[in-house]
């Protein structure tokens, strides 16, 4: 019965984060025990559900079944009684029916615990991302491997090592105490945003898996926003992702080429996502204090782009001001580059080129193709086609993405055709 299997797989995938969170806690922070128990419960569901039908609360069924497997295992391997007790907690000792009423508050705490543990700063960033996708997102190891273009055994190894580190280094399975929360939250948001960008940038790899990454990161953002509704940066990040994702359809042309913001068919933007993102942004702005955090500021920039029904209506002055504010919080040459472009759009290409000249002297963006592409574009707007062509060539020497390459080549041809 393939359709039952599909239904079970869908449930498994959707509920993976919740179930895993409860199980890891019950197993005293042992990720492997939780994962083994969960896959055994999944196997059991494959046998039982086609006969008995899909239970009313599939997540509860799977959680309970998995816990029973974990208890059996723990018994067999004679681990400490304390661990057994924590696995048994809340289970009816005589019950054979795997129906388990989870307390809601507890479930939420479990998920937060899992997010914060997967994103602990003592774990290497790549491993954090892999573990988050695997455990919270329920992606298969092969899917995570494909998304990050690493061989599956390499990724599997990475996951083994990170779980060992969590266990042996004593990384606590808990929501960080108040005094650690701000810095820890930053780490969690960085992981989610990195997953989003991997999916959004479409630099390489399987496009289906990449779309999956973006929706997965938005889902994680939603979970975090539900769990921490008063944290402006949490809402800001979710708003930022939604406001960018709203343009997903419009930013890729019929043959897969990248379509620049100002050339996109704005009627194809997802209005519902923009509305939701804008509402979240407003709430974040109301909750936060000046200066607003970097995700809120970036969401505000995205919202201004989304609010313009035609490119000419974009409020570039405001966007330039926001990039300036962002640059003060996150001093980075890339932010300075975006600021220069916004200034050029607001006050003309010459003002932008002046700022880019400063950045050129700084030298850190010399190997960054978008720096040269931005310079080329401003020269083009100024009608300085020879300088524009040189800058396009510099960008082409550095660009990796095929769609971007085609775009730059097209512009270079235009410039070479212009006397």
Partner 1 sequence: MRYLLLIYGDEKVHASVPPAEMETVFAEYGRFTAELGASGRMLGGEPLTPTSTATSVRVRSGKTLVTDGPFAETKEQLGGFYMIEASDLDEAVKWAAKIPGARFGTIEVRPIWEIHKKGVTEAGRS
Chain residues that interact with partner 1, rule: CB under 8 A: 28-29, 79-80, 82-83, 86, 120, 122, 167-172, 176, 180
Q: Smallest distance, Å, CB 107 to partner 1?
A: 19
Asked if 293 contacts 329 with a C-beta cutoff of 8 angstroms, the reply is: yes
Nearer to partner 1, 176 or 232 (CB): 176
Nearer to partner 1, 172 or 256 (CB): 172
Retrieve residue 48's tokens.
Answer: 């039982």
Nearer to partner 1, 44 or 84 (CB): 84
Nearer to partner 1, 176 or 352 (CB): 176
Retrieve residue 62's tokens.
Answer: 């799977």
Q: Smallest distance, Å, CB 194 to partner 1?
A: 22
- CA 325/CA 292 separation, integer angstroms: 9
- CA 48/CA 321 separation, integer angstroms: 60
Nearer to partner 1, 168 or 289 (CB): 168
Phi, psi for 211 (deg, rounded to 5)? -60, -40
Nearer to partner 1, 29 or 294 (CB): 29
Which residues is 258 bridged to in the sheet? 252
Q: Smallest distance, Å, CB 160 to partner 1?
A: 18
Q: Smallest distance, Å, CB 30 to partner 1?
A: 9
Retrieve residue 385's tokens.
Answer: 């086609």
Nearer to partner 1, 11 or 66 (CB): 66
Nearer to partner 1, 124 or 257 (CB): 124
Q: Smallest distance, Å, CB 172 to partner 1?
A: 4
Nearest CA to 299 out of 321, 277, 283, 316 is that of 277
Phi, psi for 252 (deg, rounded to 5)? -125, 125
> For 34-76, what is the HEC assignment?
HHHHHHHHHHHHHHHHHHHCCCCCHHHHHHHHHHHHHHHHHHH
Retrieve residue 179's tokens.
Answer: 């005094």
Q: What angle do CA 73, 77, 82 make, to 5 degrees?
A: 85
DSSP symbols for 138-159 = ---HHHHHHHTT--HHHHHHHH
Q: Smallest distance, Å, CB 175 to partner 1?
A: 11
- CA 131/CA 146 separation, integer angstroms: 14
Q: What angle do CA 15, 21, 22 make, to 5 degrees?
A: 95
């Amino acid at each position: 019965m393939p359709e039952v299997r599909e239904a079970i797989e869908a449930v498994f995938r959707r509920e993976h984060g919740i179930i895993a969170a409860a199980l890891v806690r019950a197993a005293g922070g042992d990720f492997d025990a939780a994962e083994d128990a969960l896959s055994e419960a999944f196997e059991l569901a494959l046998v039982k559900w086609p006969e008995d039908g899909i239970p009313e609360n599939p997540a509860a069924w799977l959680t309970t079944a998995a816990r029973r497997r974990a208890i059996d295992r723990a018994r067999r391997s004679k681990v400490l009684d304390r661990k057994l007790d924590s696995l048994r907690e809340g289970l009816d000792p005589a019950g054979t029916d795997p129906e388990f009423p989870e307390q809601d508050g507890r479930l939420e705490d479990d998920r937060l615990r899992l997010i914060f543990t997967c994103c602990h700063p003592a774990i290497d960033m790549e491993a954090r991302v892999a573990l988050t996708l695997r455990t919270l997102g329920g992606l298969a190891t092969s899917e995570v491997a494909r998304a990050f273009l690493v061989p599956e055994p390499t990724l599997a190894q990475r996951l083994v090592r990170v779980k060992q580190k969590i266990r042996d280094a004593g990384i606590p399975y808990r929501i960080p105490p108040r005094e650690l929360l701000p810095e820890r939250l930053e780490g969690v948001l960085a992981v989610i945003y990195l997953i989003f960008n991997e999916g959004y940038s479409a630099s390489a790899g399987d496009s289906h898996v990449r779309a999956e990454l973006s929706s997965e990161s938005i889902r994680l953002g939603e979970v975090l926003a539900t769990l921490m509704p008063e944290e402006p940066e949490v809402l800001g990040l979710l708003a930022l992702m939604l406001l960018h994702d709203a343009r997903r359809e419009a930013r890729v042309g019929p043959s897969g080429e990248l379509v620049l913001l100002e050339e996109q068919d704005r009627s194809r933007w997802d209005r519902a996502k923009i509305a939701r993102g804008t509402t979240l942004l407003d709430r974040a702005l109301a909750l936060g204090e000046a200066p607003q955090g970097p995700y809120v500021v970036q969401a505000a920039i995205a919202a201004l782009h989304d609010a313009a029904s035609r490119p000419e209506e974009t409020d570039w002055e405001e966007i330039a001001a926001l990039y300036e504010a962002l640059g003060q919080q996150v001093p980075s040459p890339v932010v300075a580059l975006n600021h220069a472009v916004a200034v050029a759009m607001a006050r003309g290409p010459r003002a932008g080129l002046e700022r880019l000249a400063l950045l050129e002297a700084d030298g850190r963006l010399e190997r960054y193709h978008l720096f040269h592409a931005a310079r080329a574009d401003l020269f083009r707007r100024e009608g300085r086609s020879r300088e524009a062509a040189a800058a396009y060539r510099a960008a082409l020497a550095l660009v990796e993405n095929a769609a971007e390459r085609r775009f730059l080549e097209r512009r270079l041809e235009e410039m070479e055709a212009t006397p």
